Structure 1
Amino acid sequence: MNIKDIVNRDIVNLTNCESEPIHIPGSIQPHGFLLGIKKGDFRIEFCSANTADFIGAGPEKLLGKYIAKVFPEEQASLFASYANEEVIDPAKPFVFILHGTSFNTTVHQSGDNVIMELEPFPDGTLQLPNLYTQTRNFVSIMEKSTGLLDLCQEVADETRSITGYDRVMIYRFDEQYNGEVIAESRREDLVSFANQKYPHTDIPVQARELYIRNPLRVIADINYQPVPLLTIDDSSAKGNHSLDLSLSILRSVSPIHIEYLKNMGVGATLTISLLQNQKLWGLITCHHYAPKILPHYTRLSALLQGHFLTSQISVREVAEEYKIGEEVDKALVESLTILHQTENFMEACYESASLLKLANATGAAIYYDGKLYTNGLVPPDADLLALFSFLSNAYPNQSVETDNLIDIYPAARDISKYAAGVVFHSMISGGNDGILWLRQEKVETIKWAGNPDKAVLKNEDGNRLSPRKSFELWAEIVKDKSMPWRKSEINAASSFSYALQKHINYRVIRAQEDQNRALNEELKLANKELSNLNWISTHDLKEPLRKIQIFASKVLDREDPDLSMQVKDSVERMRFAAEKMQVLIEDILTYSKAGNMEKVFVRTDLNEVLTHVLSELEENIEEKGASVQADNLPAIEIIPFQVHQLFINLVSNAIKFVKIDRKPEIRITTSIVAGENVPDGKGTRGQQYHAIAFHDNGIGFEKEYEHRIFDIFQRLHPAHKYPGTGIGLAICKKIMENHRGFIDATSVFGEGSVFTIYFPAK
């Protein structure tokens, strides 16, 4: 039988800590031995090379055998039942007894194999912990500790009392997984590591993953010689190349980590994971300065301390956050009260202490409508305005919070004593408007356990990584940073910013309403004056014009021989001007009525309207020899008298604006048009329109006048050739607006025009 080891020798030549395959070292620590059995048939597939040291049988006698051939048959049968349970409780390990020695056996599954890790009890006896006493002590600790740090210190003391290690430390990780010692219990002769920081490189990514999967790790003697794992060398077998020991207690640890511990002078360690929301919050790390094998149940007691602490971390953090949140909420309520009770909060913010307290800021500033309002400690106005300008442009209609402003705004270095950290909310009013809370720089000296930049270096031959040898305090001064913003402070700032924006909007709306109210009064007065003017135009001016026309006619009718031809010509001109002015007054009155008359819609057959119009224009049609042809027009909801006026104007224009030697030809067509096809994008998408087009063969007009011809008093031709006031098409446009429709004109100069009116189909 050929036997081979599965030691992972690639570890020796590592050049990157984060690529180290620490879960498959292929070896274990020597204070116990390991058997890997095939799941289901309990045949030994793997074993550690040190089995003879514990049970007198070497790997050659174990590999390929069933456990019933190794251990007493009764025990093997009981173990088979134990190992087949769906959930194996690590708090209840199986105990094998062989040659008078009791072996504590922890079991877990690894792929298709069941891993058995057997350790003899260190003192030869099974000592169970007093869980009642331990729990009672923790409850007492929990009651008397005032905060999370106090609780951590008590847990560190209790863990050291339970385990007997020389030093017990509790680490807490930051966002980058740099660890800080927040509690420590130690022998009096040892140098304290309290408050020291350890760089994230001390625990690489894959090591953190293992701490999450397996919350307890033991190194009994850092000077141990790794024991290789062996298996039968069967080229036809698959899956025997490695064994995942992620959940193993005896797993051999990284050579780099062993070297790290030797450089620290440590002899043995116990590490317990502290998890929150499936993330590594921190560690309980126990150091001993000589080899130390900790019994299984004592390890579980230490692990229970970790569970106790884990159960309280979230509660204590929430409690501390709640206490701060209460103060923040109180300040927020005060600020909102001032905001709603003060006409000009911007001015009041100078003296509002609650504005600072709601975010626990050292300064605050509001920039609105070109003015700067400040409170507390703030940079000079020029620097503050530059900061507002940057934040408004970089985060338009957004918010941003940072405790390291220099990261996003390099110019912050010059103002860090006022604004190392900020919370900013822009305002939708535009420009650089916004509200800003500021925090001063907090200069901090971080005590690193050795230089963090040299935590891991290549060794002298350059083939393998080596941890730092010195753990002397290495001080780093951190500047240009503020205290981090808490969630409650950020939320309070956001709530106040939202309320301030609403308050500003309300004031703007109220000011706009006041302005609109004043404009409405002015418009009412102007409309009243226009009504008076219309009355004067349509009534008071008619009588003098009528008298002018009468007296002019009388003068001309007498044919007095004493009147010269020059006088008669002047009187004739005067009468003609009066008639022209009367027509203009009538057109102005019609235009005014088109906009001011009551709009009563009646379903009407447009064929009937056209018939009445043609009857009214019969004399003009016969005089010009005009022909009018029309499609069958629809029946729609209209204001009858206005559409009658509309048809009158369009047909009259088609008769009037024609060459002298040409007889007017008018053709009226109708069709249904989709809103998106109405010219100039005037139509409503999804709405259909009745398009009624008036085609003529008149003089036409140039394209540049397609829109101008609908302006009031707009004339394209001399009055002596084509009489009129220039109001007719403006009246047409006004009538179509009253019907929520449109009028459009196209023409070929000298050949004719098409005037199209669009009525909504519904």
Structure 2
Amino acid sequence: MQDRFIEGCEQEQLHLSGAIQPHGALVVSDLQGLVSHVSANLASLLALDTRIEQLLDQPLPDFLEEVHNIAPPLNQGERYIGQGNVGQQEFDVIISHNGEQLIYELYPVDAYAEPMPMGGEAFPVPEDRHALENQCQQLLVALLALSGFDRVHYYRFMPEGDGEVTAEARQPEVTGSYLGLRFPASDIPQVARQLYLQNPWRSIPQASAEPAAIVGRGQSSNPNLTWADLRSVSPVHQEYMANMGVGSAISLPITQAGELDALISCHNAVPKQLTVSQLQAMSALSEAFNLRLRDYKARRRLQIYDGLQRQFDHAKAVLMRHGELESAWPELSRWLMDTFSVDGVILQVGSECHQRGAVLSASAVNVVAEAARFETSSVWISDNLQRDCGDMPLSEIAGVAVVSDLPLDQYHNVNLYLCRLEYLYEVTWGGNPDKPIDYRDGNSAIAPRRSFEAWVEQRVGHSRPWFSSTRIYLLKLRALLQQAKSFSWTTNE
């Protein structure tokens, strides 16, 4: 990725766009109830017989005051969903608190539209990976039926920031598939990912629609639209959707431990607007899966801890049987290589160095140790040493997991290096990920890729990817080594 492209994406202030999507209208008030901003389309969308400028610096209009009085007090980031009417025109309203103001999003609805049922089939917490994948697929099928969209993808974020489509559902007549394709991290910049974390959904009914400006009083700054789904669409994202042939989209976040773990992305070739009730129902389904995924991962962590405890009991038994590390090393190193699926292992105990299999050279160990020195958790993992270590000498070892600076006594530390050989494999991208900038009229401009056809990259210089649980295993191993050191880690010195 070219740094200029990523930097340009990250600097875009999406929450301060000063405009909204035109399928709804916006009113902003201060916390005392005086209107500070309105969208330019408010009067036309709700058939008001007043100029929008006449609403500024005035109390909330009667049709919003009625809804406001019903809503509970809100804190920053909280929202309330209700209904109101202006004459014969009914509307859904979402009220959110941005820390300084109240945001009122108004969506005209058909007076005869029936609310969408919020229920759904109850599923147990998945017992294994296969059950989890089945539930994910069932979720996508349900969302496809509920939305009526062409496709629904489960877009999982990888540790390095890239995303991969790991599940897909599509209408019978829709051809082509994104399943298994990977997309670079810059396709969804961090600034956009933070907004997904704050909202239950993101709806773009018409990607090509011209935004409606937000009109403020005097020199007032643009309101913070972090929690407003009406927030206008970035021009870069509009072009990205056009290049994909997407006319409308809905995104539902999957969050784990305060991080964006995945996105459920619904695409339709032509513009399509869902009601707030439909969006609520879709969000309820995805959140139910999110909770089950959270419980599944918690259960897996406990299983990992329990399994490692049993495995480490075996390692401790080996050490105790031999009485010292030198004679135990052949059996202990074999256990380490099997447990962590590595090609070689190095154990530094004070000035002693024990190794087995394909390992780093002494000079490479020093370079890796310097890189790992800045890791606060004492566990450092890389699947591409040439990328992650600036002065890395040529080596057949491409990936390393390090457990460093485990105190043995006041004079010695223990350092463990788990080594993996280079592994050549292919990654199938949705388009060439290395061409994020278009050059127009002789100038570079931020612009997304034009093609999303499968583009195969042969990856060199990488080891086999480390499992997502590797860090947990190593932290647990470090704790267990700490417990065992008092009687086990003796040498022939």
TM-score (ref. length: structure 1)? 0.55
CA distance 1:433–1:77, change in 2 (3 Å): closer
- 1:6-36 deviation digits (Å, cap 9, x = unpaired): xxxxxxxx99222222212222222222233
Partner of 1:354: 335
CA distance 1:209–1:499, change in 2 (3 Å): closer
Partner of 2:3: none
Partner of 1:191: 176
Give the one of 168, 173, 194 matched to 2:152: 168
Q: Which deviates the most, 198-207 or 44-53?
A: 44-53
Partner of 2:382: 403
Kindly indicate whether the alpha-carbon contact (under 8 Å) linking 1:226 and 1:252 is maintained by their aligned counterparts in 2: yes
Q: Which deviates the most, 318-327 or 289-298?
A: 318-327
Matches within 5 A, 1:614-629: none
Partner of 1:229: 214
Give the one of 96, 99, 119 matched to 2:85: 96
Matches within 5 A, 1:515-664: none
CA distance 1:138–1:498, change in 2 (3 Å): same
CA distance 1:248–1:313, change in 2 (3 Å): same
Partner of 1:521: none
Matches within 5 A, 1:46-445: 46-49=38-41, 51-57=43-49, 59=51, 62-64=54-56, 78-82=66-70, 85-86=73-74, 90=79, 92-98=81-87, 100-110=88-98, 113-121=101-109, 123-132=110-119, 134=120, 137-139=121-123, 146-188=130-172, 189-231=174-216, 237=218, 240-343=220-323, 345-352=325-332, 353-366=334-347, 374-375=355-356, 377-379=357-359, 384=361, 387=364, 401-404=380-383, 405-406=385-386, 407-408=388-389, 413-416=394-397, 420-423=399-402, 425=404, 435-445=416-426
CA distance in 2, matches of 1:35, 1:459: 38
CA distance 1:441–1:62, change in 2 (3 Å): same
Kindly indicate whether the alpha-carbon contact (under 8 Å) linking 2:324 and 2:491 is maintained by their aligned counterparts in 1: no
The structural deviation recorded for 1:126 is 3.8
Kindly indicate whether the alpha-carbon contact (under 8 Å) linking 1:48 and 1:227 is maintained by their aligned counterparts in 2: yes
Please tell me the residue identity of whatever aligns with 1:196.
Answer: L
CA distance in 1, matches of 2:370, 2:102: 61
Computing the radius of gyration from Cα coordinates, the structure with the larger value is 1
Partner of 1:490: 474
Unaligned 5+ residue runs, structure 1? 1-13, 512-762
The structural deviation recorded for 1:304 is 1.2
CA distance in 1, matches of 2:488, 2:126: 49
The structural deviation recorded for 1:206 is 2.2
Partner of 1:555: none
CA distance 1:480–1:161, change in 2 (3 Å): same
CA distance in 1, matches of 2:437, 2:234: 14
The structural deviation recorded for 1:129 is 2.8
What is the root-mean-square deviation in Å for CA atoms of aligned residues? 3.8
The structure with the greater share of residues assigned to strand is: 2
Partner of 1:20: 12
CA distance 1:55–1:409, change in 2 (3 Å): closer
The structural deviation recorded for 1:448 is 1.8
Q: Give the number of aligned pairs.
A: 475
CA distance in 2, matches of 1:16, 1:361: 40
- 1:291-345 deviation digits (Å, cap 9, x = unpaired): 1110111101111123212213332223333334443332211111011012454
Question: Is 1:453 the counterpart of 2:434 in the alignment?
Answer: yes
Partner SS state of residue 139, structure 1: coil
- 1:552-592 deviation digits (Å, cap 9, x = unpaired): xxxxxxxxxxxxxxxxxxxxxxxxxxxxxxxxxxxxxxxxx
CA distance in 1, matches of 2:382, 2:368: 15
CA distance 1:225–1:195, change in 2 (3 Å): same
CA distance in 2, matches of 1:355, 1:463: 51
Partner SS state of residue 447, structure 1: strand
The structural deviation recorded for 1:147 is 4.9
CA distance in 1, matches of 2:393, 2:483: 28
Question: Is 1:480 the counterpart of 2:468 in the alignment?
Answer: no
The structural deviation recorded for 1:360 is 3.9
Kindly indicate whether the alpha-carbon contact (under 8 Å) linking 1:218 and 1:269 is maintained by their aligned counterparts in 2: yes
Kindly indicate whether the alpha-carbon contact (under 8 Å) linking 2:64 and 2:84 is maintained by their aligned counterparts in 1: no
Unaligned 5+ residue runs, structure 2? 1-5
CA distance 1:326–1:356, change in 2 (3 Å): farther
Matches within 5 A, 1:741-752: none
Partner of 1:466: 447
Question: Is 1:29 the counterpart of 2:21 in the alignment?
Answer: yes
The structure with the greater share of residues assigned to helix is: 1
- 1:460-480 deviation digits (Å, cap 9, x = unpaired): 452742211111222223333
The structural deviation recorded for 1:266 is 0.2
TM-score (ref. length: structure 2)? 0.82
The structural deviation recorded for 1:413 is 4.2
CA distance in 2, matches of 1:86, 1:392: 50
Kindly indicate whether the alpha-carbon contact (under 8 Å) linking 1:15 and 1:465 is maintained by their aligned counterparts in 2: no
Determine which structure has greater relative contact order: mean sequence separation of CA pairs < 8 Å that are 6+ residues apart, divided by chain length: 2
Partner SS state of residue 447, structure 2: strand
Sequence identity of aligned pairs in percent? 22
